[in-house]
Structure 1
Amino acid sequence: MASLDSVTEPVLDKDGVRLTVDDAVATVTLTNPAKRNAQSPALWRALAEAGRLLPGTVRVVVLRAEGKSFSAGLDRQAFTPEGFDGEPSFIDLARGGDAELDATIAEYQEAFTWWRRSDIVSIAAVQGHAIGAGFQLALACDLRVVADDVQFAMRETSLGLVPDLTGTHPLLALVGYARALEICATGRFVGAAEAERTGLANLAVPADQLDDAVRDLAAALLAAPRDAVIETKALLRGAQERSFEEQRVAERAAQARRLRDLAGVGE
């Protein structure tokens, strides 16, 4: 596997997002370090487009960011009367109708949903600050490898808002209700040691080893047959909604599919 951000021609490179593909590994890079990779509606649309552009050969998607910070969260320009060029300001959105506001937030959420697709495994490589929308973007991925300088924080409540970019579901699943509530309601920072201890991070490493650690994890994920990984991911994700007995049934059905596939027996 080549570098995390392949030297090949980008599939997408706009609005602070670059997508490159190296065979079975795609890399999505946030490319605005001067603004600590602050997020905007244009960036969210570019992230959603990156998901749509993934070739069928891709099995692992790495999400990374240039600079010292993964993402400082939503660009505060969103809260100014003028907002972003060519975009309705958040103030204007708040003054609009309920259906329009709901549809707009749903569109923003699309940038955060495709990372959970069953046909890929996504890894967030997180360094420095991952605040608000940045924290939720890291949570959108299946796995997280963090640098020892990472600082997660869910600051929305401190601003009078709520986390609305799909981060609450994975946060609760990872750390439990009480800790998730405390993290969100206080807006405090969560460092690398706590993130690894509580399950927010799969692995914490020195900052200069982050790329190598993610590269090794991606290679390990690629070592197993693709269909087995897809079935296993579906089993684990579905287990949150199934009873024990329902999970037993799902395991048997998945294993039957794998055995028939390995034996070359059709359904």
Structure 2
Amino acid sequence: MTLLDKDGVRLVADGAVATVTLDRPAKRNAQTFAVWRALAEAGRLLPGEIRVVVLRGEGQSFSAGLDRQAFTPEGFDGEPSFIDLARGSDAEVDAAIAGYQEAFTWWRRNDIVSIAAVQGHAVGAGFQLALACDLRVCADDVQFAMRETSLGLVPDLTGTHPLVSLVGYARALEICATGRFVRAEEAERTGLANLVVPAAELEAATADLAAALLAAPRDAVIETKALLRGAVDRTYDEQRAAERAAQTRRLRDLAGIGD
């Protein structure tokens, strides 16, 4: 069932799996402000029964980053350019960027597991969108790059936190500051990619992972994801306590005992 098809974003639900497709293949799925609004809307439209969300890009590239038209004085029709944005107050700029970030934040919700199926280029905003997902299945032709610093900017679409978590501070700094490409072998070795497969097998491998994720009871997956996401911010003893509390909830649920 198609729930959304606008501005280069398509959302389709099939049972417990939803697929979000970046659908601007002629532009290598370059992102615009309209794309970001549509991605945020897709998150709001997810039916309650959805457990796994697959994010993919139509064509040869996952996403080549932000559409370069955003950097022109004219910007996009009917949209403020970055130059217009820079003229705003600190509060206005902050609010605008917070709005852009909404397209990148909902993928880590505890009630879903998100998988980015990444092929070809995943550059800048494309890299950050892949990083927004819980898991990444990559084709062997994948090329990640964080080009913002090379343009005099910083990665501001929520990508810095997961990048450092996955590869560590020193490697994350080197990747961002140089803007170099990270290819499939390095992505798998450093943890950016959960799995690397031949490009022709990307769709099937992603579907297999989604099916495996659906095999466990939903509430157990939700509790486990919440535990793992919170682990980095807890002490060892705090994490032990969180495990005990989560397991207590699971045991009572399985036994049919309410709170």
**TM-score with structure 2 length normalisation?**
1.00
The one-letter code of the counterpart of 1:220 is: A
- Distance, in Å, in 1 between the alignment partners of 2:74 and 2:14 is 40
Q: Deviations over 1:13-71 (max 9, x none)?
A: 00000000001000000000000000010000000000000000000000001000000
Deviations 1:227-256 (A, max 9, x none): 000000000000010000000000000000
Query: Which one of 260, 263, 266 corresponds to residue 258 of structure 2?
Result: 266
Secondary structure of 2:75's match? coil
What's the CA shift for 1:223?
A: 0.2
Counterpart residue type for residue 194 of structure 2: N
- CA shift, 1:226, in A, is 0.1
Encode CA deviations 1:92-144: one digit per residue, 9 max, x unaligned: 11011111111000000000000000000000000000000000000000000
Return the letter of the residue paired with 1:136. Answer: Q
Which runs of no fewer than 5 residues in structure 1 stay unpaired?
1-7
Shift in Å at residue 83 of structure 1? 0.3
* CA–CA distance in structure 1, aligned partners of residues 135 and 151 of structure 2: 28
Tell me the secondary structure at the aligned position of residue 46 of structure 2.
Answer: coil
Task: Report the equivalent of 2:78.
Answer: 86
Alignment partner of 1:115 out of 107, 112, 125? 107
Quick one: which of 175, 183, 187 aligns to 1:195? 187
Does residue 59 of the first structure (1) align with residue 51 of the second (2)?
yes
Give the structure-1-normalised TM-score: 0.97
Q: Secondary structure at the match of 2:182?
A: coil
Q: Does residue 132 in structure 1 map to residue 133 in structure 2?
A: no
Q: What amino acid maps onto 1:82 in structure 2?
A: E
Asked if 1:181 is matched to 2:173, the reply is yes
- Alignment match, 2:227: 235
Does residue 46 (structure 1) correspond to residue 38 (structure 2)? The answer is: yes
For 2:249 and 2:94, locate their aligned partners in 1 and report how far apart those are by CA, in whole Å.
Answer: 40
How many pairs are equivalent? 259
Matched, 1:205 2:197: yes
Please tell me whether residue 254 in structure 1 is matched to residue 255 in structure 2: no
Q: Which residue of 1 aligns with 2:145?
A: 153
SS in 2 for 1:11: strand
Moved segments of 4+, more than 3 Å: none
Q: Is it true that 1:21 corresponds to 2:13 in the alignment?
A: yes
Corresponding residue number in structure 1 for 2:65: 73
Q: Does 1:99 align with 2:95?
A: no
Distance in 1 (CA, whole Å) between partners of 2:241 and 2:84 is 50
Query: Offset at 1:11?
Result: 0.3
Letter aligned with residue 71 of structure 2:
F
Q: Residue in 2 aligned with 1:226? A: 218
> What are the ranges of 5 or more consecutive residues in structure 2 without an aligned counterpart?
none
1:168 aligns with 2:123: no
- 1:141 counterpart residue number: 133
Q: Deviations over 1:203-224 (max 9, x none)?
A: 0000000000000000000000
SS at structure 2 position matched to 1:87: coil
Distance 2:165 2:234 in 1: 14
* Paired-residue identity, %: 84
